[in-house]
Structure 1
Amino acid sequence: MPLLTPLRFPWRRLPAAGVPVKNLGLRTVASGASSPSGASPKAFNIFDRDLKRKQKNWAARQPEPMKFDYLKEEVGSRIADRVYDIARDFRLALDVGCGRGYVAEHLNKETVGKFFQTDIAENALKNALETEIPTVSVLADEEFLPFRENTFDLVVSSLSLHWVNDLPRALEQDTDEIQVNYPGMFELMEDLQGMGESNCAWNRKALLHRDTMLAAAAVYQEMYRNEDGSVPATYQVYYMIGWKYHDSQARPAERGSATVSFGELGKINDLMSQGKKSQ
């Protein structure tokens, strides 16, 4: 099997900022159905969800599924870091498209009281990673979650929603980048397959000829190779964070109560110095 060393992770940390939301609902919309306010008027049926279930089940059945877990482990850890940045605990949490539980393994029972983990792949749920948090595994499609609105205090999802057909809005945020070096394009393709991340778009080509793949690998190598001959693959990760309001959290200040305008923020150090001199 190909060696994946050395691995390079030149990541940029994003600020763990978020906006509390009054009602973190779990309303879902079936393809072509009427959508809730603010969501896309019609879902585009781009991905074959049944095929994605088969791909993830196949990946979870492999003798050493952890061999391909490095990316999902890393992103799960980063999501957990963002949860820890929220100054409260969560009685009931949900992981949508949990896989083998890459977020839960990095959290503790002091932060999350109970974790519901849902995925479309039963084999992933059967091979879940260890966590000290009491968990409930639920076989469910991310597009049709079987929970009532306003059930959970926290909802997370890691490397799953990019295969969902109906997202309320385009993701308009900065990305966190993780770059991994591979010996070549074929090793990259093997790892994507091992992760259960092979293409499942309806318009995908059923077969790629060997000559086409060899040509693509040669072009990839020529255009992007590193000095050591490896080729980089950059994974762009989008993070969104939100939580239901809790009485233990500080309330925002009343509108109009600010004593400094936004136009003066650039002079904040001078204003603070003047305040100290006048005391």
Structure 2
Amino acid sequence: MRGMSAPHFIFDRPLHRRRRDRAAATQHRVAPVIEALAERLLDRLDDTTRRFGRALEIGGRGIVAPALRARGIPFVTSMDLSPRQVAGAGGLAVAGDEEWLPFAEGSFDLVVANFCLHWVNDLPGALAQIRRAMTPDGLFLATLPALGTLQPLREALTAADAALRGGASPRVSPFPELRDGAALLQRAGFALPVADLEEVSLAYRDPLMLLRDLQAAGETSAILSRDARIPPRNLFPQALSALPGGAEGIPVTIRLLTLTGWSPGPDQPRAARPGSATARLSDALGVPEHKAGDAVG
């Protein structure tokens, strides 16, 4: 992977897979956070009266699949880049790559990707493959961290790196912006695309525990352009000491980007063609209609 120079290769996917493998044995340390993120995503299913029969969940860490089955979905397939992670999902499990989905067109009427797509090199391509694997009028739900997540840690590590080495190596992954969300869905061919943002606030009394939790969850940096050298001994102590904090501990914010989209279907609402209206807005509002340029007073 290190020899790849194409600009769209951002992440070392084999390294990330190995870290997710190891995290299968340690992520119980951060289970409350993982479960809370999954619950927030699955709550979106309550916003629709549609009933689903065949679901695919990606990156659910053994939490999402049981929750989908508990909601009465009879057929749930789990997929993860890590064989160890997907083995804990129960039911039909597939070790697979989000960038090369191994499913036929029209396989699922619901796809849920929980906090995993931020490690994909070609996110538009992955979303397009997900849409092709869906039946018409199927629902896609995903969460991923947005720009601003771990921002104080990013800035502290960059400043410490610059002070100790005279340069900075990327140590926190890049995250998408809110404004990118709906555009990504639309580009992938989803209908009725929606992207929204909410903040999940955490606090750490010991900043070192933040790094340990990221490691336990398999969420440490796998950026291809990272500095492969052993970091200076003082790098992390210096960076962690610079994090803002108070009596309540060091605040950590996860800016949670949620994506919602539907695979195109014949019964979905569509925008009317310009000029096709059969009623006047002024009649609906009960106000007189004026032509452009008329004086109103």
The amino acid of 2:258's aligned partner reads Y
Which sections of structure 1, spanning at least 5 residues, go unmatched? 1-30, 33-41, 272-279
C-alpha separation between the residues in 2 aligned to 1:142 and 1:78?
22
Contact 2:52 2:73 (8 Å CA) reproduced: yes
2:42 aligned with 1:80: yes
Percent identical across equivalent pairs?
29
Match for 2:37: what amino acid?
V
Quote how far apart the aligned CAs of 1:225 are. 0.4
List structure 1 runs of 4+ shifted beyond 6 angstroms. Answer: none
Q: What residue in structure 1 maps to residue 9 of structure 2?
A: 45
- Aligned-partner Cα distance in 1 for 2:68–2:112: 12
- Aligned pairs for 1:118-267 (under 5 A) are 118-128=79-89, 135-168=91-124, 171-172=180-181, 173-206=195-228, 207-220=230-243, 224-228=244-248, 230-244=249-263, 251-252=268-269, 255=272, 256-257=276-277, 259=279, 261=281
1:126 CA displacement: 2.2
Whether 1:54 aligns to 2:11 is no
Structure 1 residue 257: Cα displacement? 5.0
Offset at residue 252 of structure 1 (A): 2.7
Q: 1:50 to 1:91 in 2, by over 3 A?
A: same
- Using the size of structure 2 for normalisation, the TM-score is 0.63
TM-score after normalising by structure 1: 0.67
2:259 aligns to what SS in structure 1?
A: coil
Change (3 A) 1:106 1:115: same
CA-CA distance at 1:179 after TM superposition:
1.2
Alpha-carbon separation, structure 2, partners of 1:204 and 1:109? 41
Closer/same/farther in 2, CA of residues 240 and 175 from structure 1, 3 Å limit: same
Structure 1: distance between partners of 2:71 and 2:201? 33
The alpha-carbon distance between structure 1 residues 142 and 253, as it changes in their structure 2 partners (threshold 3 A), is closer
Whole-Å separation in 2 of the counterparts to 1:54 and 1:116: 22
3-state SS of the aligned residue for 1:162? helix
**Are the structure 2 counterparts of residues 179 and 91 from structure 1 closer, same or farther at C-alpha, using a change threshold of 3 Å?**
same
Counterpart AA for 2:82: A
Secondary structure (helix, strand or coil) at the match of 2:14 reads helix
Structure with greater proportional strand content: 2
> Counterpart of 1:137 in 2: which secondary structure?
strand
Alpha-carbon distance, 1:71 to partner: 2.2
In 1, the alpha carbon distance for the partners of 2:50 and 2:11 equals 37
1:69 is paired with a residue whose SS is: helix
Tell me if the contact between 1:89 and 1:110 (Cα under 8 Å) persists in the aligned partners.
no
**The residue matched to 2:261 in structure 1 has which SS?**
coil
What amino acid does structure 2 have at the position aligned with 1:212? Answer: L
> What is the total number of aligned residue pairs between the two structures?
214
- Match for 2:199: what amino acid? E
Deviation of 1:136 after TM superposition, in Å, equals 1.1
Secondary structure of the corresponding residue to residue 201 of structure 1: coil
Q: Secondary structure at the match of 1:240?
A: strand
For the structure 1 residues 214 and 136, does the alpha-carbon distance in structure 2 shift closer, same or farther, using more than 3 Å as the test?
same
Residues 258 and 160 of structure 1: CA distance in aligned 2, closer, same or farther (over 3 Å): farther
**Distance apart, 1:94 and its partner CA:** 0.8
The Cα of 1:205 is off from its aligned counterpart by 2.5
Q: Which has the higher contact order (CA 8 A, sep 6+)?
A: 1
Query: 1:219: how far off?
Result: 0.8
- SS, match of residue 241 in structure 1: strand
Cα RMSD of the aligned pairs, angstroms, is 3.0
- Post-superposition Cα deviations, 1:180-224, rounded to whole Å, max 9, x if no partner, equal 10123211000000011111001123322221111111111xxx2
Cα contact 1:48–1:201 (8 A) shared by 2: yes
